[in-house]
Amino acid sequence: MTKTYEQLKKQIEALSQQAEAVRRKEVAGVVARIKEAIQAYELTAEDLGFGKERAAAGRKTAARKRPAAGGRRRAAGTTQPRYRDESGNVWGGRGPRPKWLREAISAGRKLEEFAV
């Protein structure tokens, strides 16, 4: 028995809904595994390629401004360290806190102790 066009359209719609439900379920499982790995390995956005390189690549390039006569410009993306520990580790205060600082704070130290 040959199916009509309407029957085929209904079958396609039902299969599309079924496929989307299976996809959502699979994606949820994949996302859960990814989150577990991120937490287990203490990965950062930069570790995963979502750091400065990706942000810079995604930006449209604009005409660069010239510094004033005799003036100097800092390199893009560089900041002065705002926090430092006795081992010489530094953090500029932007982005996620580095591992050494997270560990020190969880050990009972205060952020203000590391201020430069």
Q: Is residue 66 part of a domain?
A: no
Transcribe 22-34 into DSSP letters.
Answer: HHHHHHHHHHHHH
Quick check: is 1 in a domain? no
Residue 74 lies in a domain: no
CB-count burial class (<10 Å; 0-12, 13-18, 19+) for 29: exposed
CATH code of residue 100: 4.10.430.10
What is the structure's pLDDT at 67? 57
pLDDT at residue 5, as a whole number: 95
Could you read off the pLDDT of 56-93 as tens digits, one per residue? 555 555 555 555 555 566 566 677 889 999 888 999 88
On whether the pTM is more than 0.85, the answer is no
Residue numbers of the domain that contains 25: 8-43
Task: Tally the domains of the chain.
Answer: 2
Tell whether 54 is covered by a domain: no
Q: Note whether residue 52 is domain-resident.
A: no
- The contacts of residue 116 (CB under 8 Å, 6+ apart) are 80, 81, 82, 83, 84, 90
Is the Cβ–Cβ distance between 50 and 58 less than 8 Å?
no
Distance CA 7, CA 93 (A): 61
